[in-house]
Amino acid sequence: MAKGKDKQGNTLARILKAYSSGDLDDKLKPVEKKPGKQAHPRGTKRARDGSPVEETHAITKPKEPRGVEAGLKERQEKRIKSENTKSTPNPKPFGKGAQKGQKPNPLLEARKALPIWPHAQSIRAALKKNNVLVLTGETGSGKSTQVPQFLLSEPWCQKCIAVTQPRRMAAISLARRVAQEMSCPPPGRVPGAKVGYSVRFDNATGPHTRVKFLTEGMLLQEMVRDREMEEYSAIIVDEVHERSVNVDLILGFLKNLLSDLENGRLKKRKNPLKVVVMSATVDVGALVQFFGEGSKESEDTQQTLHSDVSSTLVGTQQNQDISTCYIEGRQYPVQTIYLPEPTQNWVESALIHIFQIHRKEPLPGDILVFLTGREKIEKLEKLVNEYAEGLEDSLPKLLVLPLFSALPQHAQQRIFMPTPHRTRKVILATNVAETSVTVPGVRYVIDCGKSKIKEYRNALGLESLLAKPISKSAADQRKGRAGREAPGKCYRLYTEDGYNGFADRTQPEILRCDLSHALLTMVAAGIGLRDVFSFPFLDPPPRGAIERAVALLHDIGAVTEEAEIANDALTMAKFPLTPALSRVLIEAATPERNCLEDVVDIVSALSTEDIFLNLANEERKKEDAEAARRGFYRRSGDHMTLLAAVQGYLEETSDRKAWCAKHFISHRAMQNVVKVRKQLLELCQRLSLVPNSSSSVDPPTANASPEEHTKRVLQCFARGFMRNIARLMPDGSYQTLVSKQTVAIHPSSVLYGRKTDYLLFTEFVFTNRAWVKGVSAPDVGALEEVMRKVVLGDGDGE
DNA sequence: GAGCACTGC
C-alpha cells in the first residue's frame, strides 16, 4: 500500500472517529442521551436458519403401494373456479331464493349474500352517532367492498370516501369490483366514473369520483399536502392489522386531525370527518383505546367487545365517541394437526407430510406449504420431484409449483392455471401466499412456523433478515388458507406447545425499522422535530430508535446543528425514496457535482428490485450471463455498473424485451426503473433541482474526464451514506469506519472477491453474515472531501 | 458464493 494513501486513509479515519465520538450528536437538542451510551450492540448473530442438524429419523421412501383408497376417489376431481381478487368473497351459490319474474341482478344478490349485508343499517347508525367506527370482520365478510357503498348516500357524505389498502393490486381490483357493483363505468378519468383508484404511477380518479381506493402511501402523501383532508367525507383504513409503518402514521395523523377538529382548531371543514378502521383480527381493544383519547385506561373495553360477537354495535361507556362492530367471516372449518415432537428439520418433515396427504386424501385438494424463502423452496421442490418419481401409477400425479415474489410473472401465474387431470398441485410458497396472493383450490396447509423478518438494529444501522418463529395470528392466517373453499386441514410442523409459545401478534413494522423516513414524513406534515416524541403512535417506538433516526437525518443535512428542520428536509420528503437516496439526488444537483441525470438513473435502479437476473440455479446459464453482462461491469463498482446497464437499456429502442433477454436482465425490473426515473426527473424539475430546460445547460459533467465524472457520482453517494464506508484491514477483511463492524462484499456485487482500500455501500444486511450490497470503490480523496465538508464544516471541501 | 413481503408526487 502506498504511503501517501495510507496517510490519507488515516486522516479519513480520524475525521470519522471525531464524527462518531458523539460531538455532533450532542448538539442535537431534543436528543437526551442516556448516561450509559449503548456500548455494545445487542447480539445480532444467530444460527443460520436451517443450519445442518443431525437427522433424527430417516425418510421413508415411498416405494410400496399402500394407499389403496387413494386411487378410487380421484375420478370426482373437479376444479373449483376461483378468482384471485380479495374483492370477491367466495362466489358461493347465492340467490337461490331470488324472486323469479323480477329482473335478476346477480351482483346485487351476491352482495346480499355477504355476511356484512345485514349490518348495513347499524353501520350507518354508528357513524351517524359517532365519528369513529372500529370494524372487525374476518376474511370474506365483504367489508372492503360494501362499507363504502353503505355510506355513500348518507347525508353527511357529500364528498369523497377514501379506502386505503396496503397493496396496489388490491386497491385496483377492489375499485373495479365496486364500480361493477354500482353499475358505473370502470375506474378512470372519465366524467361518469364514481369509483376510482390512486396508486403510484397510476391515478384513475376523475372529477366525479366518490369512492377512491388508494394505497396507504398515497393517502399519506395527500395528508402531507392537506392535513385537513378537505376532499373527503370519510376515510376508511382497511387491513389495519397488517400494521405497516404507513398505516401507523395514518392512524396517528387521523387521531390528531379528529381532536383538532373537535377542539375547533381547524376551520376549513364544515362537516366532521368520519373514520372507519377495519381490521381482520381482534385488536379492537387497542384501537378503541387509541382513538378514545387514550387518557383513560378502559379495562372493560375488551370484555364488552368480546361479548358482542353476534350483535353489531357497542358504545362503551369509557369511549363514547367510538362505535365498534364485528362481522363474522365466511370460512370453512380447518382441522389443526401438530407434530408430537418438535423438529429442526422441517424441510424433511414437510416432505413427509406432502406424501402422507397425497396418499391419504382424495382429490380435489391442493397442498400449500409455507416456507421461509427461495432457498428452502427450491430444495424442497427438488426433493418432492425426486420422490414423486417413485410413486405408483395408481396414485395421482404431483405438480410442484414454487411461489415467491421474485419469480417472473408467468411462473407465478401457473398457480392459477387449471390442474391437469388426476394431478394434485403442491404450492411451495413464502409469505406472499399469506396476504398478497390467494391460491385457489387449497385444502391442505403445511406450515413450517417460521418466516424471514427484516429488523433494523439501531446501534449498528444494520438491518437483519433472519428466519424467526411467526406469531399466533400469522399461524392462524396461514391455517385459514385451507378453508377458503371447503373444510380443510392444517399441518403445523411444530408442537402445540410451540404454538402456545408464539407471540400473539407479529410485531408491528414501526417497532423494527429505520424511522428516518417516517420522521421525514411527519416533519413534512408540519410536525415539529420536538413533537415527534409525543406523536400518537398506536405502538410508540422506543425513544432510542427515534433519537437514532434524528441523528441519521442530521447526517444527511435534514436537521441542522441547532436541531431545526433544514430546508432540504422538505425537499427530501417529496421524493419517493429513502432519505439517504434523496440526499444523494440533492447533492448531485449542486454545481460542484453536476451529475444529476446519471445519479437519477442509478438511484432509480437502486430503489427497485434487482435488475440483474439471479441464475444461481442454472449453472450453464450463469456463465452465459456473466459474459453477456460483462460489457456493463465497471471497475469502480456496482453503482457505475448499474448506470451502464440502465443507459444500455435506454439506448435500445427497437426491442427492449429481447435486449433484456440477451443480457440476462429483468425486463420487469427495467420497466419499473424507467417509470421511477421518469417520476424522479419530473420531481427534480418541479423542485427546481434541475435548471429550466430553456436555459443553455452544459451536458452533465461535459468538462469532466470519465474518472472525474465517476468521482463526482460517488461523492454524491458518499454524502448520503457517510456511515457506510468500510476500510480494508490487514487481514483482508473490511471494517466499517464508524461502527467498527466487519462486513463482507455480497456475492452479487461486481466487486465480489476484489480487494480495495475503501468501500462505499448503499445496503447493509445481516443474513448468515453481515453483507454489504451496492458497493463501490471510491478514491480516498473523494471520500475525504465529503467528510471534511460535512464533519468539519469546511466551506469549500478543500 | 447469495436475496421474506409490501409501498411511495
- Per-residue CB contacts under 7 A with strand B, chain A residues 622-641: 622
Specify the nucleotide whose C1' lies closest to residue A406 (CA).
Answer: B3
Among A11, A10, A33, which residue's Cα sits nearest to residue A22?
A33
Give the span between the Cα atoms of A9 and A648, in whole angstroms: 35
Specify if A225 maps to a domain.
yes
A151 in the same domain as A300: yes
Which H or E run contains A381? helix A374-388
Distance A199 CA to B9 C1' (A): 11
Lowest mean pLDDT among A122-131, A406-415, A752-761: A406-415
Report residue A709 as a C-alpha cell: 465524472
- Per-residue CB contacts under 7 A with strand B, chain A residues 541-570: none
pLDDT at A58 over 60: no
Q: Report the protein residue whose CA lies nearest the C1' of nucleotide B4.
A: A452
- Per-residue CB contacts under 7 A with strand B, chain A residues 497-516: 509
- Per-residue CB contacts under 7 A with strand B, chain A residues 594-623: 607, 610, 614, 616, 622
Instruction: Check whether the bond before A65 is cis (ω within 30° of 0).
Output: no
A479 in the same domain as A379: yes
Instruction: Give the CA dihedral A672, A675, A676, A682, nearest 10 degrees.
Output: 180
Percent of chain A with pLDDT over 70: 80
DSSP H helices in A459-592: 472-480, 496-501, 516-524, 543-555, 567-573, 579-588
A303 in the same domain as A381: no
pLDDT at A8 over 80: no
Give me chain A's average pLDDT, please.
83
Specify if A781 maps to a domain.
no
A430 in contact with nucleic chain B (CB within 7 A): yes
pLDDT at A456 over 60: yes
DSSP 8-class letter at A575:
S
A364 in the same domain as A302: no
A369 in the same domain as A308: no
Lowest mean pLDDT among A521-535, A579-593, A678-692: A678-692
A366 in the same domain as A340: yes
Lowest mean pLDDT among A96-100, A356-360, A430-434, A563-567: A96-100
Distance A673 CA to B2 C1' (A): 23
Report residue A110 as a C-alpha cell: 351476491
A277 in the same domain as A140: yes
Instruction: Please answer whether residues A563 and A536 qualify as being in contact, where contact means their C-beta atoms are separated by less than 8 angstroms.
Output: no
A339 in the same domain as A316: no
Type of residue numbered A237: V
How many domains, chain A? 2
Distance A717 CA to B1 C1' (A): 26
Specify if A151 maps to a domain.
yes
* Residue A44: per-residue pLDDT: 34
Lowest mean pLDDT among A216-220, A313-317, A431-435: A313-317
What's the average model confidence in pLDDT over A766-775? 94
- pLDDT per residue as tens digits for the range A611-636: 998 776 666 677 777 788 889 999 99
The CATH number linked to A166 is 3.40.50.300
A61-91 core/surface letters (b: 16 or more CB in 10 A; e: else):
ebeeeebeebbeebeebeeeebeebbbbbbe
* Residue A13: per-residue pLDDT: 65
* Residue A128: per-residue pLDDT: 93
- pLDDT per residue as tens digits for the range A539-553: 999 999 999 999 999
Beta strands in A694-767 (DSSP E): 725-728, 734-736, 742-745, 758-766
Specify if A206 maps to a domain.
yes
The residue ranking higher by pLDDT, A59 or A102, is A102
Distances (CA, A) of A488 to A31, A355, A392, A396, A480: 53, 17, 25, 19, 9
* Residue A210: per-residue pLDDT: 95
- Per-residue CB contacts under 7 A with strand B, chain A residues 665-694: 679, 683, 686
Q: What is the length of chain A?
A: 798
pLDDT band at A359 (very low <50, low <70, confident <90, very high): very high
What's the average model confidence in pLDDT over A682-691? 88
Q: Report the protein residue whose CA lies nearest the C1' of nucleotide B6.
A: A167
Q: What are phi and psi of A574, to 5 degrees?
A: -85, -10
Give the span between the Cα atoms of A445 and A454, in whole angstroms: 24
Specify the nucleotide whose C1' lies closest to residue A517 (CA).
Answer: B8
A322 in the same domain as A469: no
pLDDT at A357 over 60: yes
pLDDT band at A458 (very low <50, low <70, confident <90, very high): confident
Among A525, A526, A521, which residue's Cα sits nearest to residue A510?
A521
The residue ranking higher by pLDDT, A713 or A272, is A713
Strand-strand pairing, A232-237 and A211-215: unpaired
Q: Report the protein residue whose CA lies nearest the C1' of nucleotide B1.
A: A747
What's the average model confidence in pLDDT over A722-726? 93
pLDDT at A487 over 60: yes
What's the average model confidence in pLDDT over A599-603? 97
Crossing angle of the two packed helices A667-686 and A596-606, in degrees rounded to 10: 130
- Per-residue CB contacts under 7 A with strand B, chain A residues 463-482: 465
Distance A24 CA to B4 C1' (A): 36
* Residue A98: per-residue pLDDT: 43
- pLDDT per residue as tens digits for the range A278-332: 998 768 889 999 998 654 333 443 333 333 333 334 433 334 589 999 998 888 9
- Per-residue CB contacts under 7 A with strand B, chain A residues 178-207: 199-200
Q: Report the protein residue whose CA lies nearest the C1' of nucleotide B8.
A: A576
* Residue A17: per-residue pLDDT: 60
- pLDDT per residue as tens digits for the range A651-672: 999 999 999 999 999 999 999 9
- Per-residue CB contacts under 7 A with strand B, chain A residues 33-72: none
The residue ranking higher by pLDDT, A59 or A117, is A117
- Per-residue CB contacts under 7 A with strand B, chain A residues 368-427: 372-375, 404-406
pLDDT at A53 over 90: no
Among A5, A8, A19, A7, which residue's Cα sits nearest to residue A554?
A19
A129 in the same domain as A260: yes
Q: Which of A463, A483, A507 is the last residue of a domain?
A: A507
- pLDDT per residue as tens digits for the range A340-350: 999 999 999 99
pLDDT at A645 over 80: yes
Distance A524 CA to B9 C1' (A): 13
Specify the nucleotide whose C1' lies closest to residue A48 (CA).
Answer: B2
* Residue A6: per-residue pLDDT: 52
Residue A288's domain spans which residues?
A: 115-327
DSSP 8-class letter at A29:
T
* Residue A271: per-residue pLDDT: 81
Specify if A470 maps to a domain.
yes
Specify if A28 maps to a domain.
no
* Residue A49: per-residue pLDDT: 36
A319 in the same domain as A249: yes
What's the Rg (C-alpha) of chain A? 28
* Residue A61: per-residue pLDDT: 36
Lowest mean pLDDT among A404-413, A426-435, A599-608: A404-413
Specify if A502 maps to a domain.
yes
Distance A152 CA to B9 C1' (A): 28
Q: Which of A327, A361, A393 is the last residue of a domain?
A: A327
Specify the nucleotide whose C1' lies closest to residue A429 (CA).
Answer: B4
Q: Which of A301, A327, A353 is the last residue of a domain?
A: A327
pLDDT at A610 over 70: yes
What positions of strand B are covered by protein, i.e. any atom < 7 Å from a CB?
Answer: 1-9
- Per-residue CB contacts under 7 A with strand B, chain A residues 137-176: 166-169
- Per-residue CB contacts under 7 A with strand B, chain A residues 727-766: 746-748, 752
Distance A725 CA to B7 C1' (A): 28
* Residue A393: per-residue pLDDT: 87
Specify the nucleotide whose C1' lies closest to residue A454 (CA).
Answer: B4
Distance A389 CA to B5 C1' (A): 33
- pLDDT per residue as tens digits for the range A498-512: 999 999 999 999 999
Distance A172 CA to B5 C1' (A): 19
A441 in the same domain as A358: yes
Specify if A13 maps to a domain.
no
Among A449, A441, A444, which residue's Cα sits nearest to residue A469?
A449
